[in-house]
Amino acid sequence: MRKSLRSFLVCCAIAVIFGTLPWLKKDTIVVDHYLVHHYDHNYCIGLRGQEGIWVPAKGYSYAGEEAIEPHTEWTWEDSPTSCQIQQLSKDSFCKVVFELQLKRLFFVGDSLTFQMVNSLWQLLGNNDIFAPKGARGYVTRPILCDINLTEQFTINFQYVRNDHLTLKEGSCHPNYSKDACLPWVDRYQQNGDRTLVVANMGPHMRDLDVFKTKFDDFVEFAISEMNNTRPADLFMFRTTVPGHDGCSEESSPYHNESEFLKIPATSYQWNNFKDYNTYAKKKLSNISENINGERNRIPIILDVYPMTILRPDGHRLPSVDCLHYLLPGPPDWWNHLLFSHLLEMSSTT
């Protein structure tokens, strides 16, 4: 797969030079046979995290302390090596957020989205949990960043629990009455600061048609905000990750997707999530021009699926919960991937 992808990209580059692929514009890239549109020719945004392996790296933990749990002793290594995920620190994260003039990070989604927020919160040097259990519906907390020795600025972190990305107030889909769908659009819109929205509807969608409807609604809303109402804002959609059936038997990462597929992830329809992600990628790849023939600003896919399916180890409660992870753990790398994308975007602004 690695060689075939590299060969395909080389062929496409040659074809673009000689004009034989008019459908391939120079601000697109090819990943998994889809055109992935991105900002300002940021090539690696479509490749980073797609292919690679987990390698031993003792000592990975928060705040530079020595790792003591086996599941923390792995780091992701990308292929191609030119598009490596960069590990964030508070200083580096604050710098890139400042350069992009972002003042708010707005996360909306399910309990895995909360894990992502909590991971980022602790990667930035905080020792507490972002929000205690039972108080994770609406959460807002600030992070104070140093610009230099005398200047500081504040980034506001916001999290809203909405398992379906429901845009209108009211209950979730009637087939999922136990899920949480707290209103989030008003909270997003009431603050005029430049915002990065990171969204996912999580593993709560157990039907592809329902997922398509919810995702289409979200994309329509995001594009309207980015191209009309709030042109300074950025939107990302994190791909949906499955759990690992039988995770209690696992103590190290898989080497490739074939190993993951040997144990069908059928619990909670986890085996359908790749189809959800495929639909999301294709949907966004097909949105390239508006009715005036100009390029739309569209959400970026934060594709954590390929590297996360290789991590059957490190789940929070292997005997009963093979979906959520312990921290430090794989969700940290979702944030390193987020940071790497932002870093690349800041270099071209």
- The amino acid present at 222, given as its one-letter code, is A
The sign one gets for the Cα dihedral 257, 89, 222, 349 is: negative
The whole-number mean pLDDT for each consecutive block of 10 residues of the chain, a chain of 349 residues, reads 47 37 32 38 81 82 52 85 92 96 96 96 94 89 90 95 85 74 94 96 83 94 93 96 92 93 85 94 77 69 96 89 92 97 84
Full residue range of the structural domain in which residue 261 is found: 89-346
pLDDT at position 60: 59
Question: What phi, psi does 205 have (nearest 5°)?
Answer: -85, 110
pLDDT on residue 55: 92
pLDDT recorded at residue 288: 59
Tell me if 186 is assigned to some domain: yes
| In a domain? residue 250 | yes
Residue 70, pLDDT score: 65
Of the candidates 137, 131, 100, 101, the residue with the CA atom closest to the CA atom of residue 117: 131
pLDDT, residue 59, reads 57
Structure tokens at 158: 């916001």
Neighbours of 105 (CB within 10 A): 20
**Confidence (pLDDT) at 35:** 32
Q: Give, in order, the Cα–Cα distances in Å from 89 to each of 62, 120, 330, 331, 336.
A: 9, 10, 16, 15, 9
pTM for the model stands at 0.85
Q: Domain total for the chain?
A: 1
Phi/psi class of residue 338: alpha, beta or left (left: φ > 0; alpha: ψ in -120 to 50)? alpha
- Let me know if residue 43 belongs to a domain: no
CATH code for the domain in which residue 150 is found: 3.40.50.1110
- At 267 the pLDDT is 82
CA dist., res. 88 & res. 119, Å (int): 12
32 neighbors 50 (Cβ within 8 angstroms): yes
Give which of 113, 208, 115 is closest to 165, Cα–Cα: 113
Q: What is the pLDDT of residue 257?
A: 94
Q: Are 301 and 312 in contact (CB under 8 A)?
A: no
Supply the pLDDT for residue 14.
Answer: 36
Per-residue confidence (pLDDT) for residue 147, from 0 to 100: 84
Kindly state whether residue 76 falls inside one of the protein's structural domains. Answer: no
pLDDT, residue 333, reads 96
Does residue 271 belong to any structural domain of this protein? yes
> With b meaning 16 or more CB within 10 Å and e meaning fewer, what string describes 246-267?
ebeebeebbeeeeebeeeebee
Q: Which residues of 54-88 are buried (b: 16+ CB within 10 A; e: fewer)?
A: beeeeebbbeeeebeeebbbbbbebbbeebbbbbb
In a domain, 298, yes or no: yes
Q: Does any domain span residue 8?
A: no
Q: Do the domain assignments include residue 10?
A: no
Per-residue pLDDT, 78: 93
